[in-house]
Amino acid sequence: MNRTTVAVKKPARWADAVPAREAQFETKRRALVREAARAFGRRGFHNTSLEEIAEALGVTKPALYRYVRTKHEILHEAKSIAFDSGAKAREMAFAASEDPIERLRLYIIHYIDLVTSELGSYAVLAEPVTSLPPEYADPIRARMREADRALRDMVQSAMDAGFIPAGDPKLSVAFFMGAINHIARWYTPDGPLTGREIGEIFAGFVLNGLRGPGPQPT
């Protein structure tokens, strides 16, 4: 009896190939944003051209246009990375502890660590949203409101649990995020402290400030 062998055609592995190309594209785009952030930090957003960013990356300007179209798109992407880092920091803090004050401490440490490692030099984050046209500024403002609400809830939980005195969570968040965001003015990855070390120091400053002065010696 003759047996006929039927060759089974293997399906094309689109599921494997497409994500690999997309991941490669995203990796290069992130590298571009990091280099642009460094350039903006050195020279300022308005004083840095796409030509200078392309030169720093060792690519032509047409090659650069494969990943971004304008400086505004780069600034929007850098700010989006910062908000992604904030969301991840909150997630890590909530996964690690049920203690409201410990969650706040961990959030500060993780946020500073993540945003400095992601962007290298994140002075670009000090650039105001008003530098962006509406199509980029509006989504960023929406994320700012979302992040602010989440942090106010964290502070309110610490107040409700009695870890810090009752007060206005809005002002508390403005106090410590203003200090944290000011790091963008002076931080450099070549400095003596890592992002995580700065985060741990700032977390101590913030919690001590929110708790207020302790008993005064007589």
Cα separation, 86 vs 108, whole angstroms: 9
What's the mean per-residue pLDDT of the chain? 83
Cα separation, 91 vs 168, whole angstroms: 24
Cα separation, 21 vs 63, whole angstroms: 16
Which pLDDT value is given to residue 47? 84
pLDDT class of 3 with cuts at 50, 70, 90: low
DSSP 125: G
Neighbour-count burial of 13, counting CB atoms closer than 10 A to its CB (0-12 exposed, 13-18 middle, 19+ buried):
exposed
pLDDT exceeds cutoff 90 at 144? yes
pLDDT class of 119 with cuts at 50, 70, 90: low
The 3 state secondary structure assigned to 7-48 is CCCCCCCHHHHHHHHHHHHHHHHHHHHHHHHHHHHHHCCCCC
pLDDT class of 190 with cuts at 50, 70, 90: confident
The mean per-residue pLDDT over the stretch 15-25 comes to 66
Cα separation, 149 vs 169, whole angstroms: 10
pLDDT exceeds cutoff 80 at 198? yes
pLDDT class of 98 with cuts at 50, 70, 90: very high
The verdict on pTM exceeding 0.75 is yes
Which pLDDT value is given to residue 140? 92
Q: What is the pLDDT of residues 27-54, one digit of tens each?
A: 888 778 877 777 776 777 888 888 888 8
Decide yes or no: CATH 1.25.40.10 for domain 75-211. no
